[in-house]
Structure 1
């Protein structure tokens, strides 16, 4: 017997189907049509500015520094200021074309910046462990919970946002949605359209938090101690 080989699947499913009073085995699952969808009504008519206000207030709750850049030509300057306020490098980032698109290429000219590189395998982990700051873009941003959604990939590893002492998320205004409801819809639609997404999609809400012991909140137990969101 080969490991992973499925045996007698059809007869097994036919037996279950007959016990449920079905003549045939269902090959597809119809998406349910709900009579009410209250999850869609939360912040339903909020403007982009209203969502930004919600996000900023939530950042106070989740112990996250919030910085807004209203002029994109100030983004690099602002990012450098946040980096210095967090103690500077070493820095690790994704190999992501958005850095160049938004005028942040000089970040890679620093001698203390590393880029996640699939060709160096485990050395990436060491670089991330030793980094003071990890920097990524947010693919979707949830205003209600203050959550950034990261689509992982070969050049965009989860480790960059997890192992460094501090984490900075670069958040395009266009990435902001009201809540989890819209994020899951976006992901679902991408898959329906044939977009290949990583099996690892991370929802990150501020720095690491835990209140498992005596209900006392401890920040930075399982990940970054400090987090900053830079909105532009």
Structure 2
């Protein structure tokens, strides 16, 4: 150090070492015998029911709401819950992933009975139908695809996560041409549906399955979204704001 200025890597390390009360800089780097999660943590293997209970408890602690249904009753109960939510929150337009699981549940038909328009994430022809209100926007907005314009006017987005992490109540979403990230980012309300066998206990289990068998960047999704409860931010003067970067209300359905 010269005139209060640190020069060189060795001088910088020596200064840090002295601040830590060490007489000299260690010659060898400290041992780092562990990588990733510790072994005792990896050995925790909850049952499916335990994962369901843990996810639900943590999701509700974040102000989310959970519905657990048996597969035989899934279509009727999920459709009814979705209509109730839409009525309570004044939802008139819904965006959803183009996912076979969601299609099989018949949610479009359930919403149609309440007069709610649905925009599946698939290309649509330009132009506004009567079901989609016009929105004010400049030249940049006018150049966007009709699908994105419709999604921006939806209050609720329906997704089917790839995985759900029980101990953090996190939804793991990989986007694709049929599963746009805008559905979970632009809407005010998120409605997620997934099977109980998609639950994992810890985040590392989800990452392990996502990366398995992949060797090239092109084999990965262009984005991976991790959603843990409603969007929240306290960046400005530690003033907590809900829903500023994404949905402010979140719902999860677990099909067992």
Do Structure 1 and Structure 2 share a fold, with TM-score over 0.5? Answer: yes
Whole-angstrom CA distance in 1 between matches of 2:97 and 2:66: 21
The correspondence of residues 1-232 of structure 1 with structure 2, limited to 5 A, is 34=34, 37-38=37-38, 41=41, 44-86=44-86, 87-104=90-107, 106-107=109-110, 112-118=117-123, 120=125, 122-191=145-214, 196-232=219-255
Q: 1:37 to 1:163 in 2, by over 3 A?
A: closer
Superposition deviation, residue 193 in structure 1: 11
2:188 and 2:246 in contact (8 A); partners too: yes
The TM-score with structure 2 as length reference comes to 0.69
1:17 maps to none
Deviations 1:109-143 (A, max 9, x none): 56611111235562122111110111010110001
Larger radius of gyration: 2
**Number of matched residues?**
201
Q: 1:43 to 1:225 in 2, by over 3 A?
A: farther
Between 123-132 and 136-145, the greater mean CA deviation after superposition: 123-132
Whole-angstrom CA distance in 2 between matches of 1:106 and 1:42: 43
CA RMSD of aligned residues (A): 2.9
The TM-score with structure 1 as length reference comes to 0.75
1:13 maps to none
SS across alignment from 2:75 = helix
1:69 and 1:75 in contact (8 A); partners too: no
